[in-house]
Amino acid sequence: MTEPRELLVERRRWRPQLVWVIPILAALLGASLMVQSWRSKGPRITISFQSADGLQVGKTLVKYRSIVIGRVSALALSSGEDGVDVTVDLDRSAANAATEGSHFWVQHPRFGIDSEAHLDSLLSGAYIGVEMGRSAKAQRNFVGLEEPPALAHGHAGRLVTLRADSLGSLQPGAPVYFRKIRVGRVTETLLEASHQGVQIRIFVDAPNDQLISTRTRFWNASGVDLSLNADGLQLRTESLAAVLSGGIAFEDAPADFRGVETQHAEDFTLYTNRGAAFAPAPGEAHLVRMRFKHALRGLTIGAPVEMVGVEIGHVSGIDLEYSPKDQSFAVVVSAMLFPQLMGHAYETLAAEGTAASEDRMAVLIGRLVNRGLRVQPRLGSLLTGQLYLAIDFMPASSRVTFDASRRPLELPTVDSATGELQLRVASIAEKLDNMPLGSIGSHLDGSLSSLQALLGHVDNDLLPPATATIMDARAALSTLRGTISDDSPLHDKIDRTLEDTDATLLEVRSLAGYLQRHPDALLRGRRPDSKPVSAAP
Amino acid sequence: MIARASQLGIARCRVCGQIEDMAAVARCSRCGRRLRLPNPRTSAERSLAWLIAAVILYIPANVLPVMYVSGIGGGAESTIYGGILEFWRSGSLGLALLIFGASVAVPITKFVALGLLITTTLLNSSGAPAQRARLYRFVEFIGYWSMLDVVVVALTCRLVRFGSLAVAEPRPGIVFFCAVVIVTMISAFSFDERSIWAARSHP
């Protein structure tokens, strides 16, 4: 037992044990993970921005249609120009984003009333938005957009450019309405190259972009349009959002519309309000002058000029003129007239050929002046004292000579209607003066004394019989009360009648019950052995 | 020369400690367990295999994220190393050191210690057996603390569930880390402590 046995002989030849499968498996697992992670790694791109405001390394995401497709992996200052270089690791699935034509922008949280407020970024922080390029050519360095594009992700629809004098409260993202339904938004606002106005680009989503034609009129729907007219107070707004953040509305012009026709279906005018959008086209303007001898307080530039109640122009200038001959001052008012605003009358004139030239117009006006055509300042509003100019026929006015060759045409005038009003008021005051107020007073006095006598007569002769009548009525009422009181014979009789009726009804009920069980009793009569009232146990 | 039990064909039952003569019986006469003479090479080799597996698994455990924490302002996945750095930078030195100790220092110490023990055994080294034995006991001791990370992640993911406010979710890295700990334990367990002393007989 003390000698070592052959058991102790060590095996020199090494045979791998089964346990070596474990490290091999681990190595395979690790290798497969490495391959997988290498395969899922997408391209690394660099985007340059003006500033890295809100961007964080490792935190800021790159999103395409709200899906995370990458992450900011490094931020660095640009080497050459001012700005920052943002390095982004894209997922492999988003390799399309690293192609030519892709756009990147930083989406900051934005407060707005419209639906695209991006409130999600308020909590999650800014993210980088992507618009994928369509090209197949790969690109690694991009210049980021400073403003998020209004149109991302290939919406179907139509871009329309509007021109306006001023932007108002419109901003990119402001809604565009058609019959108060939101159909698009403002995408861009920019100054025209000539600095004479602004261009507003709007995008109308498909299929509503079909609504836009050359007949379409756009107007600024921002704010509240409050008007007071013969129908009462009218309030027009598009929506609360439009009131607060600005908006644009459009509609087709009606079929009989005689406004300015839009030439191109891409370029439109943005009118300041709905009224302006559908106002008839003013047509050619004619300058006329009028000379007034008296003061025209209340007439302002822009005041309307009306032809038989229809507005056909406006006052464009008010000036004073001194004539040394008779050392007098005159008010010279110039006005722009738009004959086309006369509507059908203008069409008739145009058909005659009168509207063709200013000379033939002047001849016509000369004939009209001979028939009594005059310009008269009239009071537009008693409250404000605003004047307007009325062109009207006043055959009673004195004859004047009309110079048809003079340019600009000078229309004859008559005195202000305000003066007439004053005259009338004066005549009324005079008539009031002439009224015999003294005799009216004495007559009234006599009438009052006779009224007093009449009242005394009523007091003495009429009142005593009336009192007796009332006493009689009271006695009659007390008799009636005795008749219908609780212990009266009438009451007793009614009581008894009611009891009888009760008993009768009971009988009728039992009969009805019997008939229900034995309907044949109606024909055969009551069976002798059955009882009318059910005595079932 | 002192004879060893193995040289005499005497083996100790690994289960109940009964001493048996291998020439007489193949199984423990008390508990029925199959008897085996200690084989330093085999045990060291098995231990080495497990150790290599553990080292390989340790790579994805550190590279892959172990936990995903999302809160207000987005979420982020963090690896063990990233987590340590984050705690260190935010001033929680104690936490950073604790996690560093549990997930970096302890496993690597175990790798080095086990590697040393296995190598010396395979090389039939007879140097400093007492120290090596102490080293082995030390490896066994620190093994208790290796699962700290796994427990932290498990607890956090279970406790932090506040909907959109804050959510913590485990990520594959922690599975690898858990595997590293288990495989290292198996490696240490496979190593036969007696083989440290076996080389004495072959001077």
Would you call A7 and B74 a contact, using CB atoms and an 8 Å cutoff? Answer: no
Single out the residue of A426, A281, A300 nearest to residue A339, CA to CA: A281
Burial environment of residue A328 by CB neighbours within 10 A (0 to 12, 13 to 18, 19 or more): exposed
The burial class, CB within 10 Å (0-12 / 13-18 / 19+), for A122 is: middle
In the prediction, which pLDDT does A159 show?
A: 82
Q: A23–B50: do the CB atoms touch at under 8 Å?
A: yes
Average pLDDT over chain B reads 83
d(CA A32, CA A38): 10
CA distance B22 to chain A (A): 10
CA distance A305 to A315: 7
- CATH number, domain at B72? 1.20.140
Residue B46 with chain A: CB contacts under 8 Å: 17, 19
pLDDT at B203: 43
Together in a domain, A500 and A411: no
Q: Can you tell me which residue has the tokens 């006991």?
A: B137
Domain assignment present for residue A117? The answer is: yes
The letter for the amino acid at A86 is V
pLDDT at B56: 92
B60 with A17: Cβ contact below 8 A: no
**Within-domain flag for A213:** yes
How many Å apart are CA A56 and CA A76, to the nearest integer? 11
Residue with tokens 């009242």: A455
Cis amide bond preceding B170, omega within 30: no
Query: From CA A19, how far away is CA A41, in angstroms rounded?
Result: 34
| B181 CB within 8 Å of a chain A CB | no
Distance from CA of A280 to the nearest CA of B (A): 56
3-state secondary structure at position A106: strand
Shared domain for A257 and A332, answered yes or no, is no
What is the distance between the alpha carbons of residues A118 and A137, in angstroms, rounded to a whole number? Answer: 31
- Structural domain ending residue among the three candidates A92, A109, A143: A143
Has residue B17 got a pLDDT over 80? Answer: yes
Q: Which residue of A has its CA nearest to B165?
A: A123
Residue in chain A closest to B187 (alpha carbons) equals A19
**What confidence score (pLDDT) does residue B41 get?**
80
* Helix runs in A393-461, H state only: 417-434, 437-457
* Residues in B touching A2 (Cβ below 8 Å): 3, 8
Residue A125 is nearest to which of B6, B7, B74, comparing CB atoms?
Answer: B74
Strand partners, A413: A375
**Does one domain contain both B96 and B11?**
no
Note whether A290 and A416 are same-domain residues: yes
Residues A309 and A416 in one domain: yes
A344 & A272 share domain: no
Which pLDDT belongs to residue A490? 79
- Which pTM does this prediction carry? 0.49
CB atoms within 10 A of CB B21: 13
**B9 neighbourhood in chain A, CB within 8 Å:** 1, 5, 7
CA–CA dist A300, B54 (Å, integer): 96
Q: Are residues A202 and A130 in the same domain?
A: no
Asked if A169 and A227 sit in the same domain, the reply is yes
> A273 is in which domain, residue-wise?
157-277
Q: Kindly list the residues from chain A whose CB atom is less than 8 angstroms away from the CB atom of residue B64.
A: 33
Looking at chain B from residue 49 to 108, which residues have their Cβ under 8 Å from any Cβ of chain A? 49-50, 52-54, 56-57, 59-60, 64, 72-74, 76
Strand partners, B70: B75, B167
Torsion of CA B96, B102, B103, B104, to 10 degrees: 80
A8 with B76: Cβ contact below 8 A? no
B43 and B111 belong to one structural domain: yes
Q: What is the per-residue pLDDT for B54? A: 93
A456 is a domain residue:
no
Helices and strands in chain A, H and E counts? 11, 23
Q: Do B57 and A2 count as a contact with CB atoms less than 8 A apart?
A: no
User: What is the chain B residue with the closest CA to A22?
Assistant: B53
Tokens found for residue B156: 């956090």
**Same-domain status, B29 and B54:** no
Yes or no, beta carbons of B57 and A30 under 8 Å apart: yes
Q: Given A17, A30, A123, which is nearest B60 (Cβ)?
A: A30
Q: What domain count does chain B have?
A: 2
In the three-class reduction of DSSP (H, G, I as helix; E, B as strand; rest coil), residue B157 is classed as helix
Cβ separation A27–B56 shorter than 8 A: yes
Residues of A whose CB is below 8 A from B180: none
Residues A198 and A315 in one domain: no
From the list B7, B9, B72, the residue facing A123 with the nearest CB is B72
Within a domain: A356: yes
Domain match, B12 and B59 both = no
Q: Which of A1, A11, A19 has the most B C-beta neighbours within 10 Å, making it the best mutation to test the interface with B?
A: A19
Nearest-neighbour CA in chain B from A200: distance (Å): 36
In a domain, A431, yes or no: no
Residues B1 and B25 in one domain: yes
Q: Do A27 and B46 touch (CB under 8 A)?
A: no
The length of chain B, given as a count of residues: 203
**Contact with chain B for residue A18, Cβ under 8 A:** no
**Residue A235: strand pairing partners:** A226
Which A residues, 259 through 318, put their C-beta within 8 Å of a C-beta on chain B? Answer: none
Position A22 in a domain = no
Does residue B174 surpass a pLDDT of 80? Answer: yes
Return the half-sphere exposure (C-beta side, CA atoms, 13 A cut-off) of residue A30.
22
CB contact under 8 A, B53 and A61: no
Q: Do residues A302 and A421 both lie within one domain?
A: yes
Give yes or no: residues B94 and B116 share one domain. yes
Do both B93 and B164 map to the same domain? yes
- The residues near A312 (Cβ < 8 Å, ≥ 6 apart) are A305, A306, A337, A338, A339, A341, A342, A391
Q: What is the DSSP string of A220-288?
A: E--S-EEEEETTEEEEE-S-HHHHHH--EEEEEPPTT--SPPPS-SSEEEEESSHHHHTSPP--S-EEE
The per-residue pLDDT for A505 is 92
- Write down the pLDDT at residue A9: 47
A27 has a chain B CB within 8 A of its CB? yes
Query: Is residue A57 in some structural domain?
Result: yes
Are residues B75 and B50 both part of a single domain?
yes
Chain B nearest-CA residue for A21: B49
Check CB contact under 8 Å for A8 and B60.
Answer: no
Report how far residue A339's alpha carbon sits from residue A341's, in angstroms, rounded to the nearest whole number.
Answer: 5
Same domain, B52 and B14: no
Q: Does B14 lie in the same domain as B77?
A: no
Q: Residues B30-44: pLDDT tens digits?
A: 888 888 777 778 888
Q: What is the pLDDT of residues B111-136, one digit of tens each?
A: 999 999 999 888 887 778 888 889 99
Q: How far apart are CA A152 and CA A164, in angstroms?
A: 26
Best residue of A22, A35, A73, A128 to probe chain B, by most B CBs closer than 10 Å: A22
* Residue B141: per-residue pLDDT: 85
Reading phi first (left if > 0) and then psi (alpha if -120 to 50, else beta), residue A327 is in left
Co-location of A220 and A188 in the same domain: yes
A408 and A324 in one domain? yes
| Contact state of A17 with B52 under an 8 Å Cβ cutoff | no
Q: What is the mean pLDDT of each run of 10 residues along chain A (537 residues)?
A: 47 71 89 84 87 82 85 84 86 82 81 56 76 82 80 72 83 82 84 85 84 83 66 68 75 71 70 77 80 82 84 87 86 86 78 72 82 83 77 79 80 72 77 84 89 84 83 88 77 88 92 87 73 49
Instruction: With CA atoms as reference, report the closest residue to A190 among A220, A224, A166, A215.
Output: A166
Domain range for residue B15? 1-37
Please identify, among A241, A257, A277, the residue that sits at the C-terminal boundary of a domain.
A277
* B52: nearest CB among A10, A23, A33: A23
Tell whether A6 lies on the interface with B, counting CB pairs under 8 A: no
Residue B60 sits in the same domain as residue B73: yes
Q: Are residues B121 and B143 in the same domain?
A: yes
Residues A250 and A328 in one domain: no
Domain count, chain A: 4
Interior CA angle at A36 toward A31 and A38, to 5°?
A: 95
Asked if A61 lies within 8 A of B9 by C-beta distance, the reply is no
Q: Considering only residues 4 to 43 of chain B, which have any Cβ-Cβ distance to chain A shorter than 8 Å?
A: 6-9, 22-23, 37, 41-42
